[in-house]
Amino acid sequence: MHMFKFAALALPLSLVAACGQIDRTPVPLTEKQSAMLMKELDGKVAGKPVNCISDFSANNTIRVSDDILLYRVSSRLVYKNNLRSSCRGLASDNDIMVSEQFGGQKCRGDIIRLVDRNSGIPGGFCSLGDFVPYRAEKDRD
């Protein structure tokens, strides 16, 4: 009887172990992606990372790469989010980005799923990291 319980527990654990480690090493940015990032953050200084931002503030999303999202609040404030794992296909901007979140905020750990615009077939998924505010230097007091 105890052997069956052990076997029932061992199988799921061995399947998880077989999946291996997820590679969390970001892919280097292309020249175009670097230029986009520099343009958005030019003249701004990084602040202390925060766990959540208001949905109201996060309505202008910029897909820099499969690893980086920007949330532009205004010309003077942009939040940079380095995703916790790469979201394959995010940078191409061909798929619809669906956020799975609770309440009126986007927070570290919230899930983003990609859905094909034409077929509705689910694609990649990833989770948000910390939000680093970049403010224009005049705003820093």
**Tens-place pLDDT, residues 53-101:** 998 766 789 999 999 999 999 989 999 999 998 888 898 878 888 888 7
Question: CA nearest 124: which of 71, 63, 73?
Answer: 63
* Helix%, strand%, coil% for the chain, nearest 5: 25, 35, 40
Would you tell me how many other CB atoms lie within 10 Å of the CB of residue 107?
16
Task: Please name the helix (run of DSSP H) or strand (run of DSSP E) that holds residue 68, with its range, or none.
Answer: strand 68-74
| 89 phi-psi bin (left φ>0, alpha ψ -120 to 50, beta other) | left
CA distance 55 to 110: 12
The model's pLDDT over 115-127, given as tens digits with 9 standing for 90+, comes to 988 888 898 889 9
> Rounded to the nearest 5°, which phi and psi values hold at 3?
-65, -40
- Please answer whether residues 123 and 71 qualify as being in contact, where contact means their C-beta atoms are separated by less than 8 angstroms: no
Going 50 to 55 to 60 to 63, the CA torsion angle's sign is positive
Encoded tokens for 68: 């980086």
CA distance 75 to 97: 23
Which range has highest mean pLDDT (2-6, 17-21, 91-95, 135-139)? 91-95
How is the chain split into domains, by residue range? 33-139
Looking at per-residue confidence, does 39 or 13 come out higher?
Answer: 39
